[in-house]
Amino acid sequence: MAATAAQLCDVGYLNMTIEGVAARAGVGKSTIYRWWPSKAALVVETLKSRSMLSPIELTGDSRADLRAVIASTFQIVTHSPAGMILPALAVDLIRDPAAHEQLHALLRPRRESVLTVIRTIAARGDLPADVDAGLLLDIYSGTLLYRVLLSGEPVTESIIDQLTDLLLSGTAPHILLML
Amino acid sequence: MAATAAQLCDVGYLNMTIEGVAARAGVGKSTIYRWWPSKAALVVETLKSRSMLSPIELTGDSRADLRAVIASTFQIVTHSPAGMILPALAVDLIRDPAAHEQLHALLRPRRESVLTVIRTIAARGDLPADVDAGLLLDIYSGTLLYRVLLSGEPVTESIIDQLTDLLLSGTAPHILLML
Amino acid sequence: MAATAAQLCDVGYLNMTIEGVAARAGVGKSTIYRWWPSKAALVVETLKSRSMLSPIELTGDSRADLRAVIASTFQIVTHSPAGMILPALAVDLIRDPAAHEQLHALLRPRRESVLTVIRTIAARGDLPADVDAGLLLDIYSGTLLYRVLLSGEPVTESIIDQLTDLLLSGTAPHILLML
Amino acid sequence: MAATAAQLCDVGYLNMTIEGVAARAGVGKSTIYRWWPSKAALVVETLKSRSMLSPIELTGDSRADLRAVIASTFQIVTHSPAGMILPALAVDLIRDPAAHEQLHALLRPRRESVLTVIRTIAARGDLPADVDAGLLLDIYSGTLLYRVLLSGEPVTESIIDQLTDLLLSGTAPHILLML
DNA sequence: CACTAAACGAGACGGTACGTCGCGTCTTTCT
DNA sequence: AGAAAGACGCGACGTACCGTCTCGTTTAGTG
């Protein structure tokens, strides 16, 4: 069931249809409504089940570790369905704080594990001890999201290094010359 | 006409209805369809007409100038209808590159004027001469957007200063103690 | 449902509206479209349900019997809603032989019972044994229909007797002096 | 102009559209509305202009003359566009006596010339002197119309002779054996 | 000959109804 | 009993024409 919901996410969140999911699952609509109050709840639960839980492995090289985290988010935003589904979902839920909270809960595990990585890097002394890990996460994630949605700039992998530099070395974003 | 479309944006982009707009404008549906091919096009044009064109005034104090720019985006994202409409629109258009480009065109004037501010600051020597102004813009805008949509963190004004510090001084985001 | 369709036939077939029927029935439009593919089909079925099934009672007096049949058609054509609806329907269906056939099927029971009356009269010897009952029916029905639709002549009850005479006695239609 | 209206009658009266006529004539809609108050009026006038005015030539053979008249109506009803347009028009106008009258006026010339034929036949003594020519006309016309619209019987040329016999000889309609 | 006024083409306008789609609820049917 | 199937009331979709209404632009006719 949740499986077919995910399947349907290949038509995009906005074009996804509860009737479509039901048909694809060989199931009555009422069965879906019995379990989930809304399309958003169904999608949230579906995403929760097949979460992006590749645990992050630390190498000891702080730059490499942070870069890996950012690169992973880059991949999700630019190349995975979730990169399009999550913002759509968030936008759909803006007016419903309760559902919005559920969405955050869904993202929390991933968020926590990234925060841990950042704090580990800070503990190594490669970031300030009092680093605001949450903000740091928001910065690179938000930048990537904004590039895709609204900036109009092409989104290339070079941004991964630019963000890594900015966050790790405090380097303002220089123009990066492509080779 | 465009006026009433904007009016209807107080029910939100997703709940906005072309029939609703037509009714509110005292106009036939066909009149709307004659001029705009889709809801998205109507909204883009509406936003274009009543654009947020408060020109940015430079003070000579680079920190104050950059902070003002960021604060202005903060206001839009958190307190203006456009803060909710633009992401919804972007999400709606993800699958249509042509329309997406129109959206970027809509945002370009504002973007350009901010880029000019950043380059001015760089010219003053308060940012590196080869600063990537576009990326810098994406960073603070994206961070603010992400906070509202997906982060789950409360969004307070303190983030304005944190972002200003990060971008201007290259300071990694420290935890900011509220007073 | 069919009831309200019939009700709406008091605005006439051409002015009847599926939305109007739906509203009057307190029903969604889709419910109507789920059951009938078109306005014509809906009307045909409605007419079928509330058919003019007053069985014809024979008196033994052939002239009286035939006159009663013609008079009944006269009533329908001149004073019942069906008199206006049926031609409108037939005209609407001219281009669709399948639907046209359905219309004939609707009329068939009435037609058959009239044919039986005519054959009974023939069996009594009051009409030729090899009378073409179908043609006879078409003659008086068609004449009445034509009078109402296209002739421009006033349609009075005197025509009933004229047709009866013509068909029964083989009398060419004389001018009938009104008393 | 009237020409193109007639042209459009090859999509049928019901599917004919004033916008379509205007487009086909290379003319603005307003020009049409300037001259005709309604679709029906336009069609009436169009038909009037290209009327079926083949004058009826008498041969002296009453049977042949009457048969020719009936056969001509048979042709119109079964094989000419007018055969479908006129009933549609009449049905459309049922609720508007004034327009209905215009329709009768349109048909009057043809009607009159047929009435003359009938009266001539009567004058020859081949029909009763006090024959109701109008009714006679209505009978054969109506029968033909009814056959096409509502009877469900196949419409063959044999009916021409049957009607001729009935009206001329007072013969009740016998079953006609096809050879 | 120039001027004016009508009729013109074009097509936007406020509407109405169309037939389709998907919603979220409710009922029936079968296992 | 619980799920599949799917009908239901609803309401927005995007389309097609309606009949009305400006708009310039011909195109005569008249002064």
The CATH number of whichever domain residue B40 belongs to comes to 1.10.10.60
- Cβ pairs C/D, distance under 8 A: 169
Same-domain status, A41 and A67: no
- Residues forming a β-bridge with D131: C174
More reliable by pLDDT, B7 or A88: A88
Same-domain status, A40 and A115: no
Q: Which residues of B touch A134 (CB under 8 A)?
A: 151, 153
Average per-residue pLDDT for chain A: 89
pLDDT band at C95 (very low <50, low <70, confident <90, very high): confident
Residue D135 lies in a domain: yes
Residue B175, φ and ψ in degrees, nearest 5: -65, 130
Same-domain status, A164 and A106: yes
Residue D179 lies in a domain: no
Same-domain status, B75 and B113: yes
- What share of chain B has pLDDT > 90, as a percent? 70
- Would you state the pLDDT for residue B52? 61
**Are A87 and B87 inside 8 Å of each other by CB?**
yes
pLDDT over threshold 70, residue B178: no
Q: Find and list the nucleotides of strand E having atoms within 7 Å of a protein beta carbon.
A: 7-27
Query: In chain C, how many domains are there?
Result: 2
Same-domain status, C104 and C23: no
**Are D92 and C14 inside 8 Å of each other by CB?**
yes
- Residues forming a β-bridge with C174: D131
Same-domain status, C135 and C71: yes
Taking CA–CA distances from B92, the nearest residue in chain A reads A14
Per DSSP, the residues of A71-123 read HHHHHHHHHSHHHHHHHHHHHHHTT-HHHHHHHHHHHHHHHHHHHHHHHHHHH
* H or E stretch at A13: none
Q: What is the mean pLDDT of residues C95-108?
A: 91
Q: Which residues of A touch B87 (CB under 8 A)?
A: 87, 90-91, 149-150
Q: List own/partner pairs for B150-154 with CB under 8 A and 24 or more apart.
A: B150/A86, B150/A87, B150/A90, B150/A103, B150/A104, B150/A107, B150/A141, B150/A145, B151/A104, B151/A134, B151/A137, B151/A138, B151/A141, B151/A142, B152/A101, B152/A104, B152/A107, B152/A108, B152/A111, B153/A134, B153/A135, B153/A138
Q: What is the mean pLDDT of residues A21-47?
A: 89
CA of A100 to C1' of F11 (A): 27
Segments forming the whole domain that contains residue D19: 2-38
- Would you state the pLDDT for residue C1? 72
CA of C83 to C1' of F7 (A): 34
- Would you state the pLDDT for residue B141? 98
CB of C162 within 8 A of CB of C174? Answer: yes
Half-sphere exposure of C176 (CA within 13 A, CB side): 20
CB of D70 within 8 A of CB of D160? Answer: yes
Which amino acid is present at C154?
P
CATH number at residue D119: 1.10.357.10
Same-domain status, A138 and A103: yes
Q: Which residues of A touch B91 (CB under 8 A)?
A: 14, 84, 87-88, 91, 149
Q: Which residue has the tokens 């009453």?
A: D62
Residue D11 lies in a domain: yes
- Would you state the pLDDT for residue A170? 81
Indicate contact of B with A: 3+ CB pairs under 8 A.
yes
- Would you state the pLDDT for residue A178? 60
pLDDT over threshold 60, residue B112: yes
Tokens representing D72 are 């001509």
Same-domain status, A61 and A127: yes
- Would you state the pLDDT for residue D15? 93
pLDDT over threshold 60, residue C179: no
Taking CA–CA distances from D167, the nearest residue in chain C reads C172
- Minimal C-alpha gap between B142 and chain A (Å): 4
- Would you state the pLDDT for residue A51? 67
pLDDT over threshold 80, residue A99: yes
pLDDT band at C53 (very low <50, low <70, confident <90, very high): low
Residue A175 lies in a domain: no
- Would you state the pLDDT for residue D53? 66
- What share of chain D has pLDDT > 70, as a percent? 96
User: Using CB atoms within 10 A of its CB, is residue C90 exposed (0-12), middle (13-18) or buried (19+)?
Assistant: buried
Same-domain status, D96 and D58: yes
Residue B176 lies in a domain: no
Q: Which residues of B touch A88 (CB under 8 A)?
A: 91, 94
Query: Which of D91, D103, D139 is nearest residue C88 as measured by Cβ atoms?
Result: D91
Residue C12 lies in a domain: yes
Q: CA D136, CA B160: separation in Å to the nearest integer?
A: 97
pLDDT band at B10 (very low <50, low <70, confident <90, very high): confident
**Are D143 and C143 inside 8 Å of each other by CB?**
yes
CA closest to F5 C1', residue? A28
Residue A65, φ and ψ in degrees, nearest 5: -65, -50
pLDDT over threshold 60, residue B177: yes
Q: Compute how many other C-beta atoms are within 10 angstroms of the C-beta atom of residue B172.
A: 23
Residue A113, φ and ψ in degrees, nearest 5: -70, -35
Q: Which residues of A touch B111 (CB under 8 A)?
A: 152
Same-domain status, D7 and D57: no
Q: What is the mean pLDDT of residues B121-144?
A: 95
CB of B130 within 8 A of CB of A175? Answer: yes
Residues in Cβ contact with C172 at an 8 Å cutoff, skipping those fewer than 6 apart = C166, D127, D128, D131, D136, D167, D168, D170
Which segments of chain D have a pLDDT < 50?
Answer: none
Q: Which residues from 112-151 of D have any strand F atom under 7 Å from their CB?
A: none
Least confident window among B132-146, C4-18, C99-113, D96-110: C4-18
**Are D14 and C91 inside 8 Å of each other by CB?**
yes
Q: Among residues B148, B56, B63, which one has the least CA distance to residue B111?
A: B56
- Residues forming a β-bridge with B174: A131
B30 Cβ within 7 A of any nucleic strand F atom: yes
Same-domain status, A27 and A13: yes
Same-domain status, D8 and D68: no
